[in-house]
Amino acid sequence: MIPATFDGLMPIVILMSIAVLLFWGGHFASVILAPKKPSHLKSTPYECGEQPVGSAWSMFNVRFYVVGLIFIIFDVESVLMFPVASIFREMNDMGQGGYALIIFLSFISILIEGIAYCWKKGDLDWVKSYQVSLNDNNK
């Protein structure tokens, strides 16, 4: 009987390597099999037949960042909640359920405050409150 080991990590590494090898294998196969007739027109970015104007790497609206921001905060909070959640039942069985519940709920209540704040300020709306103005920059 093998004791519990680091072996659990081995399949992850193996699967990742398989993915990389599969990618390179498929790529290699397509290099061998596929025709290669490059032309300038073929390698222009697709814009429904028009000549592309400028680069696509242009500025984007800040609301994408705000969504990412709210996401990362919630992500981190859920990360912290995971170990507590996984011992919740154990603590409940030991008779400390009330204590665990108080800890857990006070943590979540602050999370709820965060989402309530963003909701009230309109960060969760995609369109309405976001009228970007350039004039504001000069204030």
Q: Cα separation of 68 and 73, whole Å?
A: 9
Element (H, E) at 22: helix 10-33
Residue 18's identity, in one-letter code, is: I
Polymer length in residues for the chain: 139
DSSP string, 43-63: TSPPSTTSPP-S-S-----HH
Q: Cα separation of 130 and 58, whole Å?
A: 19
Q: Per-residue contact track with another protein, 48 to 87, x per CB under 8 A?
A: x---x--xxxxxxxxxxxxxxxxxxxxxxxxxxxxxxxxx
* Minimum CB–partner distance for residue 45 and another protein (Å): 4
Alpha-helix residue ranges (DSSP H) falling in 34-129: 62-93, 97-120
* Minimum CB–partner distance for residue 106 and another protein (Å): 6
120 binds another protein (CB under 8 A): no
* Minimum CB–partner distance for residue 67 and another protein (Å): 5
Q: Site for another protein (CB under 8 A): how many residues?
A: 115
Q: Binders of another protein among 4-33, rule CB under 8 A?
A: 4-16, 18-20, 22-23, 26-27, 29-31, 33
Name which position in 49, 51, 120, 131 contacts another protein (CB under 8 A).
131
* Minimum CB–partner distance for residue 102 and another protein (Å): 10
